[in-house]
C-alpha cells in the first residue's frame, strides 16, 4: 500500500471547510494585540498567550531590532558549537536568578525544552509519573526517553501516591521523576503542588514543573506556580517558555547547576538544533526585565480574568469550566460536541471575538470546549464588550439548536 494513502483518504478538513466551520489558520493582518484584524474584520483577541501584553511593547520591539542590527538575523549553528551568543548567557543567568535557581538553559522552542530535558534525564532504569492532562510535549518527551512512564489521573494525589508506593522500591538502580504542568493550559487549573512536594519527599522522587502558562501569571512577582505556593526551594526543575509572557520564541529549564550542565551535554534535541535567533533572545530578555520592574501586570491580568469569569457566569447560556481558581487567565467555555464547538467558534469570529476551539484528542469526546485567554493590557470596557458578544452568541445557539444532520466527523 502507498504510504501516502492515509493522506489521500484524509477528508475531515475538506468536509469542515465545505460546511463553513473549519476553525484553523485564520490569517491576521495586524500584530498580536487586544484588538486584531482577521481577514478584514475587527476582532477582539481572546485566543492569545500574550499574558503580559508585551508582544507589541515598544521596548521589546526595540530590543529585538537592536540585537538584529548587532548580531544579524540568526546564529547559523547550534548552541553546542558556534551558536552561543553572549545574549543567550545573559538571559539564562538572569532567568536563573529570577527563578531562584542555580542555572538555566535555553532552547529553540518550549516543545523542544521538554523533549530535551526528559529524554536526557530519564533512562532505562528510571520511572516517570506524569499527570494525565500534561502537555503534548511532555508526552512526547516521555516517549523519547527510555524510562517506564505511568500516568496518574489528573490532579489525583491518591493515584499518584499509589504509583509512588508501587515503584519506589523498584527504583533501586534508577530514580523517579514526577512531571506536572503548573497551570493546565486547556482547563485553566493549577496543579496540587503542595501535595506533590509532600509525596516526593516521602518517596524520594524528583519534581519537574512545566510552568509555560504559570510564568508571568502566578505569584507575587510572576515567578509562577512554585512562587504562588511558596515552594520554590522544593521544586527541582522549572520549565518555562518565551512564547507566552515573554512575547518571543523559545523555552528554558532551570535547576541545579550540575543537572543543567548534564542536560546541556547530553540532550540530543538541544545539541542538534539551531539556537534561538538574536532578536528573539533579546525580546525575551527585555520582557523579563519589564516583568521584574512592573509586577503590577501580573496583578492586573488576574483581576481582568476574575472580572471576565464573573461576567460569563452571569450569562445563563454559558457554561464556564469550574477551574480550581479565579485568577489563571484561561477560561474554558464548555460546548460539548465537535459540531457545537466549531459552530460556536464560527459565530463568535463573525461577531468579532476570536477564541480557540479545543477538540479530541486534546479533550475527551463530548467534552469539547472553547478556550479563552486574557492579557494584562486589556481593560474593563473591552472585557465587557467581549462578554456581551459571547453571551449573545450562546443565547442564539440555545434558541436555534443545530439540526440533527449537522455532523462534523473531526
pLDDT 10s digits, 361-398: 888 888 999 999 999 999 999 999 999 999 999 999 99
pLDDT digits (tens, 9 = 90+) for 182-239: 999 999 999 999 999 999 999 999 999 999 999 999 999 999 999 999 999 999 999 9
pLDDT of 402 reads: 86
For residues 286-305, give the mean pLDDT. Answer: 97
| SS3 call for 45 | strand
CB 305 within 8 A of CB 328: yes
For residues 117-141, give the mean pLDDT. Answer: 96
pLDDT at 405 over 80: no
What is the DSSP pairing of strand 41-45 with strand 127-131? unpaired
Question: Considering the chain, what percentage of its residues have pLDDT values greater than 70?
Answer: 100
**Spatial CA neighbour of 23 closest among 371, 320, 406, 396:** 371
For residues 307-311, give the mean pLDDT. Answer: 97
Q: Could you give the CA distance from residue 369 to residue 171 in angstroms, rounded to a whole number?
A: 39
CB 279 within 8 A of CB 73: yes
pLDDT of 364 reads: 85
C-alpha cell at 281: 533572545
pLDDT digits (tens, 9 = 90+) for 141-173: 999 999 999 999 999 999 999 999 999 877 678
| SS3 call for 123 | coil
CB-based contacts of 39, cutoff 8 Å, min separation 6: 26, 27, 29
DSSP H or E stretch at residue 159 = helix 157-168
CB 115 within 8 A of CB 266: no
pLDDT digits (tens, 9 = 90+) for 49-69: 999 999 999 999 999 999 999
Q: Enumerate domains of the chain plus CATH numbers.
A: 9-45+295-399 (3.90.1150.10), 58-293 (3.40.640.10)
Amino acid at each position: 500500500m502507498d504510504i501516502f494513502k492515509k493522506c489521500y483518504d484524509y477528508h475531515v478538513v475538506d468536509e469542515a471547510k465545505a460546511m463553513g466551520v473549519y476553525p484553523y489558520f485564520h490569517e491576521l493582518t495586524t500584530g498580536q494585540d487586544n484588538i486584531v484584524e482577521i481577514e478584514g474584520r475587527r476582532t477582539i483577541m481572546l485566543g492569545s498567550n500574550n499574558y503580559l501584553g508585551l508582544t507589541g511593547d515598544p521596548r521589546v520591539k526595540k530590543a529585538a531590532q537592536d540585537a538584529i542590527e548587532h548580531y544579524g538575523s540568526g546564529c547559523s549553528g547550534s548552541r553546542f558549537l558556534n551558536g552561543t551568543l553572549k545574549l543567550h548567557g545573559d538571559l539564562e543567568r538572569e532567568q536563573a536568578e529570577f527563578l531562584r535557581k542555580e542555572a538555566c538553559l535555553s532552547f529553540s522552542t518550549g516543545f523542544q525544552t521538554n523533549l530535551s530535558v526528559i529524554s536526557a534525564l530519564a533512562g532505562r532504569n528510571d520511572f516517570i509519573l506524569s499527570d494525565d492532562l500534561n502537555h503534548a510535549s511532555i508526552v512526547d518527551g516521555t516517549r523519547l526517553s527510555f524510562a517506564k512512564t505511568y500516568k496518574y489521573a489528573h490532579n489525583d494525589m491518591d493515584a499518584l501516591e499509589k504509583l509512588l508506593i508501587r515503584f519506589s522500591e523498584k527504583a533501586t538502580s534508577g530514580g523517579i521523576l514526577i512531571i506536572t504542568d503548573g497551570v493546565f493550559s486547556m482547563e485553566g487549573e493549577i496543579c496540587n503542588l503542595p501535595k506533590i512536594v509532600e509525596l516526593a519527599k516521602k518517596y524520594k522522587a524528583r519534581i519537574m514543573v512545566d510552568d509555560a502558562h504559570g510564568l508571568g501569571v502566578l505569584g507575587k512577582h510572576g515567578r509562577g506556580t512554585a512562587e504562588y505556593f511558596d515552594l520554590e526551594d522544593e521544586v527541582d526543575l522549572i520549565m518555562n517558555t518565551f512564547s507566552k509572557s515573554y512575547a518571543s520564541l523559545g523555552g528554558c529549564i532551570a535547576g541545579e547547576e550540575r543537572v543543567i550542565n548534564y542536560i546541556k551535554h547530553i540532550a540530543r534535541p538541544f545539541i542538534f538544533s539551531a539556537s534561538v535567533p538574536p532578536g528573539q533572545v533579546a525580546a525575551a530578555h527585555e520582557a523579563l526585565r519589564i516583568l521584574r520592574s512592573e509586577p503590577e501586570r501580573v496583578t492586573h491580568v488576574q483581576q481582568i480574568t476574575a472580572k471576565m469569569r464573573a461576567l460569563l457566569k452571569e450569562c445563563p447560556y454559558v457554561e464556564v469550566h469550574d477551574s480550581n481558581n479565579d485568577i489563571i487567565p484561561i477560561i474554558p467555555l464548555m460546548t460539548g460536541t465537535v459540531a457545537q464547538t466549531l459552530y460556536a467558534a464560527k459565530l463568535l469570529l463573525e461577531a468579532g471575538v476570536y477564541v480557540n476551539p479545543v477538540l479530541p484528542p486534546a479533550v475527551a469526546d463530548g467534552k469539547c470546549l472553547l478556550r479563552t485567554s486574557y492579557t494584562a493590557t486589556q481593560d474593563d470596557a473591552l472585557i465587557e464588550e467581549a462578554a456581551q458578544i459571547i453571551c449573545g452568541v450562546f443565547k442564539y445557539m440555545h434558541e436555534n439548536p443545530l439540526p440533527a444532520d449537522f455532523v462534523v466527523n473531526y
